[in-house]
Amino acid sequence: MTKDEMTDVDYEKLVNSILSIMMKRGILSTTMDQLASTLRISKRTLYEIFISKDLLVEEVLKAYMVYVRDNQRSIVDKSENIIDALIKIFIFSRSLLAEINLDFYRDMDNHLHLQKDFEETELLYNAHMLEIIKDGIRKGLVRDDIDFLLMYRLMLIQMNLLKQMDNPFPQDISMLDVYNTIFLGFLRSIVSHKGMSILDGYLPEYPELNKKLAVV
């Protein structure tokens, strides 16, 4: 069976099933034999559909990016305003970080870095988030006197560095605590005075984002 012999729906289901497996195991740790066994199809069929594991990985990462993008769009459509949307998108991203094997992120980043069009791919991956921030500027909720693209990319660098680390923090500080702090610091640095008032109104709903030092 080849890709051309499959319906679009069946092909999408297969790719998403492979994505689910790799998110739990990591990309490099998932072999074609394991995929064939888990999916209950022959390894030969996998190679007939994808030709190589590299091509399979490219299709899986495209599916992951579509999954993230579609969830971001759904969150924006259902949110009251841009600040609400950014918080909920972060909560969604954090839930993925908590559930997905970190090897998946590491392998994904390594794979993207090997692509000739890495910068373009990375920008496209985050293009929707940048549009949200631009919309926030137009509505007066995000400051217009900052290089928000640079600040956003610096935040992503910090987030991605966390994904590359193993047990880097003391026992009383989790990776998610640091993730929360980076995001909240970024958000506070870009919102306008009007946006800050809205943000402060939402934070009580998400106490995990704004942990305070216990004063004895």
Band (pLDDT 50/70/90 cuts) for residue 174 is confident
68 and 86 inside one domain: no
Residue that terminates a domain, selected from 78, 99, 133? 78
Residue 6 exposure: Cα atoms within 13 Å on the Cβ side: 16
Distance CA 117, CA 100 (A): 26
Q: How does pLDDT run across 75-90, given as a tens digit for each residue?
A: 999 999 999 999 999 9
For residues 179 and 114, the model is more confident at 179
Average pLDDT rounded to a whole number, residues 25-43: 94
Place of tokens 């090997």: 114
Band (pLDDT 50/70/90 cuts) for residue 168 is low
For residues 216 and 84, the model is more confident at 84
14 and 52 inside one domain: yes
Residue 157 exposure: Cα atoms within 13 Å on the Cβ side: 6
Distance CA 169, CA 30 (A): 28
9 and 88 inside one domain: no
pLDDT of residue 118: 46
Task: Please say if the pLDDT value at position 122 is more than 60.
Answer: no
User: Domain of 175?
Assistant: 81-216
**What is the number of structural domains in the chain?**
2
CATH number of the structural domain spanning residue 179: 1.10.357
Band (pLDDT 50/70/90 cuts) for residue 105 is confident
Distance CA 81, CA 86 (A): 9
155 and 209 inside one domain: yes
Q: How does pLDDT run across 185-203, given as a tens digit for each residue?
A: 999 999 999 999 999 999 8
Residue that terminates a domain, selected from 50, 78, 106? 78
pLDDT of residue 166: 61
pLDDT of residue 23: 93
Task: Please say if the pLDDT value at position 4 is more than 60.
Answer: yes
Residue that terminates a domain, selected from 38, 58, 78? 78
Percent of the chain with pLDDT over 90: 44
CATH number of the structural domain spanning residue 49: 1.10.357.10
Band (pLDDT 50/70/90 cuts) for residue 215 is very low
Query: What's the full length of the chain, in residues?
Result: 216
Residue 78 exposure: Cα atoms within 13 Å on the Cβ side: 9
Q: Give the CA distances from residue 112 to residues 43, 94, 95, 142, 143, in Å, rounded to whole numbers and listed in that order.
A: 25, 21, 22, 30, 31
Mean of pLDDT over the chain: 85
Residue 162, both tokens: 């966390």
